[in-house]
Chain A
Amino acid sequence: MSAFASFGAWAQRNRWIWAAIGVLILWLVLSVVTNRFSLSSLSGVMLSASFLTVVGIGQMFVVTTGRGNIDLSVASVITLSAFVALLTVKGQDANLAIGVIAAVVLGLAVGALNSLLVVGLGIPAIIATLATGYVLATATLLSNKAIPGFAVSPALKDLATGRVSGVPIMAVIAVVGVAVTSFVLRYTVFGQLLSAVGQNRAAARLAGIRNGPVIASAFIISAVLASLDGLLLGAYIGGAFLEMGQPYLLQSIAAVVLGGTLIFGGSATALGTLFASILLILIVTTMQIIGLPPGVQDIVQGIVVIFVLALAGRQALARRTSVDPGDGDKDATAKTEAGAATARPK
Chain B
Amino acid sequence: MSQLAVADQEVAMAVKPAAPVRPSVVSISGITKSFGPTLANAGINLSVHTGDVIGLVGGNGAGKSTLMRILCGAMWPTLGSICFADEEVAFAAYDTGEAQRRGIRMVHQELSLCANLSVAENFFLETPADSASRPGWRALYRARARAALDAVFPGNGIDADAEVGHLTIAERQMVEIARAAATPGVKLIVLDEPTSSLDLDRSKQLRAFIRERAKAGLAFIFISHKLQEIIDIASEVVVLRNGRTAWQGHATDASIGKLVQLMGGDANPVHQHAVAAASSQDVLVRLSGALTAGLGRDIDIVRGEIVGLAGLEGSGQRELLHAIFSPGRKQHAAVARRADAGFIAGDRQKEGVFPLWSVLSNISIGALARRSALGLVSDRANRDTATGAAGKLRLDDKRFQSNITELSGGNQQKALVARALVADTPVILLDDPTRGVDIATKQDFYRLCNEVARGGRALVWHTTEDAELLACDRVLVFSGGRIVKELAGEAITEQAIVGASFAQSADGQASAAGKRTALAGFGRKLVKAAPFIGLAAVLAVMIAINPAVASTFGLDLLLMPALSLVLVTAAQMFIVGGSEIDLGVGAFAGLVSVLSATLLYDQPWLGALALVAALAAYAGLGGVIQARKIPAIVVTLGASFIWVGIGYALQPTPGGASPEWLSTLFGWSIGFMPTSIIMIVAVALIVLAIDRLPLGVVLRGFGNNPAAMIRSGWSPTRYALVRYLIAGLFAGAAGLSLTAINTASDINSGNSYTLLSVAAVVMGGCSLLGGIISPIGAVAGAVTLSLIGALLGSLSVSSDYNAATQGLILIALLTLRSLTADRRSEL
Which residue numbers of A lie inside 8 Å of B, CB to CB?
68, 70, 117, 119, 121-124, 126-128, 130-135, 137-139, 141-142, 145, 186-193, 195-196, 199-209, 211-215, 217, 249-250, 253-254, 257, 262-264, 266-267, 293-306, 309-310, 312-314, 316-317, 319-320, 322-335, 338-340, 342-346
Nearest Cβ distance between residue B224 and chain A, in whole angstroms?
13
When the two chains form the complex, which single residue of B61, B648, B800 contacts A142, counting CB atoms closer than 8 Å?
B800
A325/B30 contact (C-beta < 8 A), A187-B376, A203-B345, A331-B409 known: no
A193–B642 touching, CB < 8 Å: no
In angstroms, how far is the closest chain A Cβ from the Cβ of B70? 11
Within the complex, the shortest CB–CB distance from B433 to chain A, in Å, comes to 12
* Sample (20) of A-B pairs whose CB atoms are under 8 Å apart: A123-B811, A187-B376, A190-B373, A195-B354, A196-B357, A207-B369, A208-B343, A209-B369, A250-B641, A253-B637, A263-B634, A293-B649, A296-B649, A312-B630, A313-B630, A325-B38, A326-B405, A326-B412, A330-B35, A335-B38
Complex alpha-carbon distance, A66 and B646, angstroms: 32
User: From A137, which residue of chain B is reached at the shortest CB distance?
Assistant: B803
Contacting pair B633 A70 (CB below 8 A) = yes
B263 at the binding interface (Cβ < 8 Å): no
In the complex, the answer to whether A299 meets B32 with C-beta atoms within 8 Å is no
Given contact pairs A68-B633, A295-B652, A329-B63, enumerate 4 new A-B contacts (beta carbons under 8 Å): A202-B351, A309-B638, A330-B40, A343-B6
A304 contact set on B, CB distance < 8 A: 638
Which residues of B in the span 730-783 have a Cβ within 8 Å of any Cβ on A?
Answer: 755, 758-759, 762, 768
CB distance from A135 to the nearest CB of B (A): 4
Main secondary structure of the interface of A (DSSP, over half): helix
| Interface mask (B427-448 → A, CB under 8 Å = 1, otherwise 0) | 0000000011011100000000
Binds A, one of B360-368, B514-522, B664-672: B360-368
Q: With the chains together, A325 CA to B43 CA distance in Å?
A: 18
Decide: A310 and B649 in contact? CB cutoff 8 A: no
A338 to B365, CA, bound (A): 37
Q: Min CB distance, B550 to chain A, in Å?
A: 30
Interface pair B438/A334, CB less than 8 Å apart: yes
Q: Which residues of B contact A215 (CB under 8 A)?
A: 827
B354 touches A302 (CB 8 A): no
Is B38 a contact of A295 with CB atoms below 8 Å? no
Residue B249 at the A interface, CB < 8 A? no
Q: Which among B60, B350, B356, B371 has the highest number of chain A CB atoms within 10 Å?
A: B356
Cα–Cα, bound, A48→B464 (Å):
59
Q: Give the distance to chain B from A80, nearest Cβ to Cβ, in Å.
A: 12
Measured CA separation A139–B802 after assembly (Å): 11
Question: Which residue of A is nearest B441, CB measured?
Answer: A333
For A201, the chain B residues whose CB sits under 8 A away are 827
Alpha-carbon distance between A192 and B818 when the two chains are bound, in angstroms: 30
At the interface, yes or no: B377 with Cβ under 8 Å from chain A?
yes
Q: Is A325 in contact with B40, judged by CB distance below 8 angstroms? A: yes
Please state if A343 and B5 are interface contacts (CB–CB under 8 Å): yes
Can you name the residue of chain B whose Cβ is closest to the Cβ of A247?
A: B641
Nearest-Cβ distance from residue B558 to partner chain A, whole angstroms: 22
CB distance from B636 to the nearest CB of A (A): 9
The answer to whether B639 and A302 have CB atoms under 8 Å apart is: yes
In the complex, are the beta carbons of B436 and A328 less than 8 A apart? yes
Q: Is the pair A344, B827 in contact by a Cβ cutoff of 8 Å?
A: no
**What A residues does B635 contact at CB under 8 A?**
305-306, 309
| A207 x B343 contact (CB < 8 A) | yes
Complex-state Cα separation, A252 to B552, whole angstroms: 48
**Total of A-B residue pairs, C-beta within 8 Å:** 358
User: Which B residues are within 8 Å of any A CB, using their own CB?
Assistant: 2-3, 5-6, 29-30, 32, 34-40, 42-45, 60-66, 79, 81, 242-244, 325-326, 342-343, 345, 347-357, 361, 365-366, 368-377, 405, 408-410, 412, 419, 423, 425, 435-436, 438-440, 581, 624, 628-631, 633-635, 637-642, 644-650, 652, 755, 758-759, 762, 768, 800-808, 810-811, 814-815, 818-819, 823, 826-827
What residues on A are CB-neighbors of B650 within 8 Å? 295
Name the residue on A nearest B322 (C-beta): A206
B356 touches A331 (CB 8 A): no
A333 lies within 8 A of B242 (CB): yes
In the assembled complex, how far is the CB of residue A236 from the closest CB belonging to chain B, in whole angstroms? 23
Contacts of A202 in B (CB 8 A): 345, 350-351
CA distance A319 to B758 in the complex (A): 32
Residues of chain A within 8 A (CB-CB) of B79 are 340, 344
Q: How far is the CB of A316 from chain B (nearest CB, A)?
A: 7
Q: Are B63 and A193 in contact (CB under 8 A)?
A: no
B810/A131 in contact, CB under 8 A: yes
Contact across chains for B807 and A342 when beta carbons are under 8 A apart: no
Q: Choose among B366, B369, B644 the residue with the greatest number of A CB atoms under 10 Å from its CB.
A: B369
Residues A328 and B65 in contact, CB atoms below 8 Å apart: yes
Which residue, B353, B354, B644, B652, has most C-beta atoms of chain A within 10 A?
B354
Give Cα distance in the complex from A322 to B61, angstroms: 17
Chain B residues in 8 Å Cβ range of A262: 356
How many Å lie between the Cα of A300 and that of B642 in the bound state?
A: 7
Q: How distant is the Cα of A326 from the Cα of B345 in the complex, in angstroms?
A: 13
* Contacts A206-B343, A257-B634, A298-B644; A332 near B62 (Cβ below 8 A): yes
Residues in B whose Cβ lies below 8 Å from that of A128 = 811, 814
Specify which chain B residues have a CB less than 8 angstroms from the CB of A346 in the assembled complex: 29-30, 81
CB neighbours (8 Å) of A296 from chain B are 645, 649
